[in-house]
Amino acid sequence: MNERSAGTLVLVSTPIGNMGDLSPRAVRAMEGADAVFAEDTRRTGRLSAGLPRMYSYGDHNAQERLPLLGELLEGGLTVALVTDAGTPGISDPAYRAVRLALEAGATVSVVPGPSAVTAALAGSGLPVDRFSFEGFLPRKAGNRARRLAEIAGYTGTLIFFVGPHHLPKYLTEMLEALGDRPACVARELTKLHEEFVRGSLGELAARYGNTAVKGEITLLVGGARPV
Protein backbone atom coordinates (compact mmCIF):
# COMPACT_ATOMS: atom_id res chain seq x y z
CA MET A 1 0.00 0.00 0.00
CA ASN A 2 1.21 3.50 -0.71
CA GLU A 3 1.57 5.35 2.59
CA ARG A 4 -0.02 8.48 1.12
CA SER A 5 -3.19 6.55 0.34
CA ALA A 6 -3.37 4.65 3.63
CA GLY A 7 -6.47 5.40 5.62
CA THR A 8 -7.07 5.73 9.34
CA LEU A 9 -8.50 3.31 11.88
CA VAL A 10 -10.05 5.07 14.86
CA LEU A 11 -10.85 3.06 17.99
CA VAL A 12 -13.82 4.79 19.63
CA SER A 13 -14.72 4.17 23.27
CA THR A 14 -18.43 4.17 24.07
CA PRO A 15 -20.48 4.09 27.32
CA ILE A 16 -20.63 0.91 29.37
CA GLY A 17 -24.09 1.82 30.59
CA ASN A 18 -24.71 5.50 31.22
CA MET A 19 -25.19 7.34 27.93
CA GLY A 20 -24.02 10.54 29.59
CA ASP A 21 -20.49 9.13 29.37
CA LEU A 22 -20.44 9.42 25.58
CA SER A 23 -17.87 12.10 24.80
CA PRO A 24 -18.35 14.80 22.13
CA ARG A 25 -15.09 13.64 20.55
CA ALA A 26 -16.40 10.07 20.26
CA VAL A 27 -19.51 11.32 18.46
CA ARG A 28 -17.44 13.43 16.08
CA ALA A 29 -15.12 10.50 15.37
CA MET A 30 -17.99 8.19 14.46
CA GLU A 31 -19.95 10.75 12.45
CA GLY A 32 -16.83 11.90 10.62
CA ALA A 33 -15.74 8.39 9.59
CA ASP A 34 -16.44 6.89 6.20
CA ALA A 35 -17.63 3.66 7.82
CA VAL A 36 -18.22 2.28 11.30
CA PHE A 37 -17.40 -1.30 12.28
CA ALA A 38 -19.44 -2.14 15.37
CA GLU A 39 -19.85 -5.19 17.58
CA ASP A 40 -23.56 -4.39 17.86
CA THR A 41 -24.75 -2.16 15.00
CA ARG A 42 -28.18 -1.62 16.53
CA ARG A 43 -26.75 -0.47 19.83
CA THR A 44 -24.16 1.73 18.15
CA GLY A 45 -26.84 3.20 15.88
CA ARG A 46 -28.58 4.64 18.94
CA LEU A 47 -25.53 6.74 19.82
CA SER A 48 -26.07 9.19 16.97
CA ALA A 49 -28.46 9.80 14.09
CA GLY A 50 -25.63 10.93 11.85
CA LEU A 51 -23.53 7.80 11.55
CA PRO A 52 -22.19 6.57 8.20
CA ARG A 53 -22.66 3.04 6.89
CA MET A 54 -22.12 0.42 9.59
CA TYR A 55 -20.76 -3.11 9.40
CA SER A 56 -20.93 -5.73 12.13
CA TYR A 57 -17.57 -6.75 13.60
CA GLY A 58 -17.37 -9.16 16.54
CA ASP A 59 -15.94 -12.47 17.68
CA HIS A 60 -18.30 -14.34 15.38
CA ASN A 61 -17.25 -12.68 12.13
CA ALA A 62 -14.02 -10.72 12.69
CA GLN A 63 -11.99 -12.90 10.35
CA GLU A 64 -14.55 -12.49 7.58
CA ARG A 65 -14.71 -8.71 8.00
CA LEU A 66 -10.96 -8.04 7.99
CA PRO A 67 -10.59 -8.13 4.17
CA LEU A 68 -13.29 -5.45 3.83
CA LEU A 69 -11.64 -3.37 6.52
CA GLY A 70 -8.36 -3.66 4.67
CA GLU A 71 -9.95 -2.57 1.40
CA LEU A 72 -11.43 0.53 2.99
CA LEU A 73 -8.12 1.49 4.54
CA GLU A 74 -6.33 0.84 1.24
CA GLY A 75 -8.74 3.29 -0.35
CA GLY A 76 -7.58 5.98 2.06
CA LEU A 77 -10.82 5.97 4.05
CA THR A 78 -11.35 6.52 7.76
CA VAL A 79 -12.93 3.63 9.65
CA ALA A 80 -14.27 3.93 13.20
CA LEU A 81 -14.20 0.72 15.25
CA VAL A 82 -16.67 0.50 18.13
CA THR A 83 -17.10 -2.28 20.65
CA ASP A 84 -20.43 -3.21 22.26
CA ALA A 85 -19.54 -1.05 25.26
CA GLY A 86 -16.34 0.43 26.62
CA THR A 87 -12.91 0.62 25.03
CA PRO A 88 -12.20 -1.45 21.90
CA GLY A 89 -9.56 -4.12 22.38
CA ILE A 90 -10.59 -5.08 25.92
CA SER A 91 -11.89 -8.66 25.59
CA ASP A 92 -12.96 -8.21 21.98
CA PRO A 93 -11.28 -8.75 18.57
CA ALA A 94 -10.29 -5.13 17.97
CA TYR A 95 -6.60 -6.03 18.19
CA ARG A 96 -6.91 -7.96 14.91
CA ALA A 97 -8.11 -4.82 13.18
CA VAL A 98 -5.29 -2.80 14.73
CA ARG A 99 -2.71 -5.34 13.60
CA LEU A 100 -4.14 -5.32 10.06
CA ALA A 101 -4.10 -1.53 9.94
CA LEU A 102 -0.49 -1.32 11.14
CA GLU A 103 0.68 -3.95 8.69
CA ALA A 104 -1.03 -1.99 5.92
CA GLY A 105 0.65 1.27 6.89
CA ALA A 106 -2.58 2.93 8.03
CA THR A 107 -2.78 5.37 10.91
CA VAL A 108 -4.27 4.08 14.17
CA SER A 109 -5.91 6.56 16.53
CA VAL A 110 -7.71 6.04 19.84
CA VAL A 111 -10.58 8.00 21.35
CA PRO A 112 -10.30 7.03 25.05
CA GLY A 113 -13.26 6.75 27.33
CA PRO A 114 -15.27 4.40 29.55
CA SER A 115 -13.88 1.04 30.63
CA ALA A 116 -15.34 -1.39 33.16
CA VAL A 117 -11.79 -2.40 34.10
CA THR A 118 -10.64 0.99 35.34
CA ALA A 119 -14.03 1.97 36.76
CA ALA A 120 -14.21 -1.20 38.83
CA LEU A 121 -10.61 -0.89 39.97
CA ALA A 122 -11.06 2.72 41.04
CA GLY A 123 -14.11 1.93 43.18
CA SER A 124 -13.06 -1.44 44.56
CA GLY A 125 -10.94 -0.27 47.47
CA LEU A 126 -8.21 -2.71 46.40
CA PRO A 127 -4.63 -1.60 45.57
CA VAL A 128 -4.38 0.12 42.20
CA ASP A 129 -0.62 0.47 41.81
CA ARG A 130 -0.32 -2.91 40.06
CA PHE A 131 -3.05 -4.99 38.48
CA SER A 132 -3.57 -7.76 35.94
CA PHE A 133 -6.62 -7.86 33.72
CA GLU A 134 -7.47 -11.52 33.10
CA GLY A 135 -10.65 -11.02 31.10
CA PHE A 136 -12.90 -14.08 30.99
CA LEU A 137 -11.52 -17.24 32.56
CA PRO A 138 -11.47 -20.45 30.45
CA ARG A 139 -14.81 -22.20 30.10
CA LYS A 140 -13.50 -25.69 30.93
CA ALA A 141 -12.99 -26.37 34.63
CA GLY A 142 -9.57 -27.96 34.15
CA ASN A 143 -8.23 -25.05 32.10
CA ARG A 144 -9.74 -22.60 34.56
CA ALA A 145 -8.05 -24.34 37.50
CA ARG A 146 -4.70 -24.26 35.71
CA ARG A 147 -5.03 -20.56 34.99
CA LEU A 148 -5.88 -19.75 38.59
CA ALA A 149 -2.85 -21.76 39.71
CA GLU A 150 -0.65 -19.81 37.30
CA ILE A 151 -1.70 -16.43 38.67
CA ALA A 152 -1.96 -17.41 42.33
CA GLY A 153 1.39 -15.84 43.17
CA TYR A 154 0.75 -12.50 41.48
CA THR A 155 0.96 -9.72 44.07
CA GLY A 156 -1.13 -7.12 42.25
CA THR A 157 -4.92 -6.89 42.03
CA LEU A 158 -6.55 -9.41 39.70
CA ILE A 159 -9.47 -8.31 37.51
CA PHE A 160 -11.91 -10.64 35.77
CA PHE A 161 -15.04 -10.36 33.65
CA VAL A 162 -17.62 -12.85 34.92
CA GLY A 163 -21.01 -13.87 33.57
CA PRO A 164 -23.66 -13.56 36.31
CA HIS A 165 -24.53 -17.27 36.15
CA HIS A 166 -20.86 -18.18 36.71
CA LEU A 167 -20.25 -15.90 39.71
CA PRO A 168 -21.09 -18.33 42.57
CA LYS A 169 -19.00 -21.14 41.09
CA TYR A 170 -16.04 -18.90 40.27
CA LEU A 171 -15.97 -17.38 43.74
CA THR A 172 -15.82 -20.85 45.28
CA GLU A 173 -13.09 -21.96 42.89
CA MET A 174 -11.05 -18.83 43.56
CA LEU A 175 -11.39 -19.30 47.30
CA GLU A 176 -9.96 -22.80 46.94
CA ALA A 177 -7.21 -21.82 44.50
CA LEU A 178 -6.14 -18.43 45.86
CA GLY A 179 -7.08 -18.50 49.52
CA ASP A 180 -9.40 -16.14 51.37
CA ARG A 181 -8.33 -12.78 49.98
CA PRO A 182 -10.06 -9.38 49.85
CA ALA A 183 -12.30 -9.08 46.81
CA CYS A 184 -14.98 -6.94 45.23
CA VAL A 185 -17.95 -7.68 42.98
CA ALA A 186 -18.60 -4.61 40.81
CA ARG A 187 -21.96 -4.98 39.08
CA GLU A 188 -23.86 -2.88 36.53
CA LEU A 189 -21.23 -0.14 36.52
CA THR A 190 -22.51 3.37 35.63
CA LYS A 191 -26.07 2.06 35.42
CA LEU A 192 -29.09 2.69 37.68
CA HIS A 193 -28.44 -0.36 39.86
CA GLU A 194 -24.66 -0.01 40.10
CA GLU A 195 -23.18 -1.63 43.17
CA PHE A 196 -19.83 -2.51 44.69
CA VAL A 197 -19.97 -5.45 47.09
CA ARG A 198 -16.73 -5.76 49.02
CA GLY A 199 -15.52 -8.51 51.34
CA SER A 200 -13.32 -11.57 51.44
CA LEU A 201 -13.65 -14.31 48.84
CA GLY A 202 -15.19 -16.50 51.53
CA GLU A 203 -17.76 -13.87 52.45
CA LEU A 204 -18.66 -13.22 48.83
CA ALA A 205 -18.89 -16.95 48.06
CA ALA A 206 -21.33 -17.33 50.94
CA ARG A 207 -23.34 -14.28 49.91
CA TYR A 208 -23.76 -15.31 46.28
CA GLY A 209 -23.89 -19.07 46.79
CA ASN A 210 -27.66 -19.27 46.45
CA THR A 211 -28.40 -15.88 44.95
CA ALA A 212 -29.49 -15.25 41.37
CA VAL A 213 -27.38 -12.40 40.04
CA LYS A 214 -28.18 -10.23 37.03
CA GLY A 215 -26.20 -7.75 35.01
CA GLU A 216 -22.61 -7.34 33.90
CA ILE A 217 -20.00 -8.16 36.51
CA THR A 218 -16.36 -7.23 37.01
CA LEU A 219 -14.73 -9.26 39.78
CA LEU A 220 -11.61 -8.00 41.51
CA VAL A 221 -9.41 -10.06 43.82
CA GLY A 222 -6.53 -8.87 45.97
CA GLY A 223 -3.06 -10.08 45.11
CA ALA A 224 -0.94 -12.62 46.93
CA ARG A 225 1.07 -11.41 49.90
CA PRO A 226 4.71 -10.77 48.98
CA VAL A 227 7.02 -13.48 50.30
Same fold, 3-111 and 116-221: no
Q: What is the pLDDT of residue 53?
A: 96
pLDDT tens-digit map of 119-151 = 999 999 999 999 999 999 999 999 999 999 999
* pLDDT classification of 211: cutoffs 50, 70, 90: confident
Residue 1 confidence (pLDDT): 42
Domain boundaries, the chain: 3-111, 116-221
Domain 116-221 is of which CATH architecture? Answer: 2-Layer Sandwich (3.30)
Domain 3-111 belongs in CATH node 3.40.1010.10: yes
Q: What is the pLDDT of residue 2?
A: 45
Global confidence as pTM:
0.91
Q: Is the pLDDT confidence value at 64 over 90?
A: yes
Mean pLDDT of all residues in the chain? 95
Residue 73, pLDDT score: 97
pLDDT of residue 29: 98
- pLDDT tens, 80-122? 999 989 999 998 889 999 999 999 999 999 999 999 999 999 9
**Which residues, including other chains, have CB under 8 Å from residue 79's CB and lie 6 or more apart?**
7, 8, 9, 10, 33, 34, 35, 36, 37, 69, 72, 73
Asked if pLDDT for residue 4 goes beyond 70, the answer is: no
User: Can you tell me the distance from the alpha carbon of 26 to that of 112, in angstroms, rounded to the nearest whole number?
Assistant: 8
For residue 196, is pLDDT > 70?
yes
Give the model confidence (pLDDT) of 10-63 as tens digits: 999 999 999 999 999 999 999 999 999 999 999 999 999 999 999 999 999 999
CA distance linking residue 145 with residue 72, whole number of Å: 43
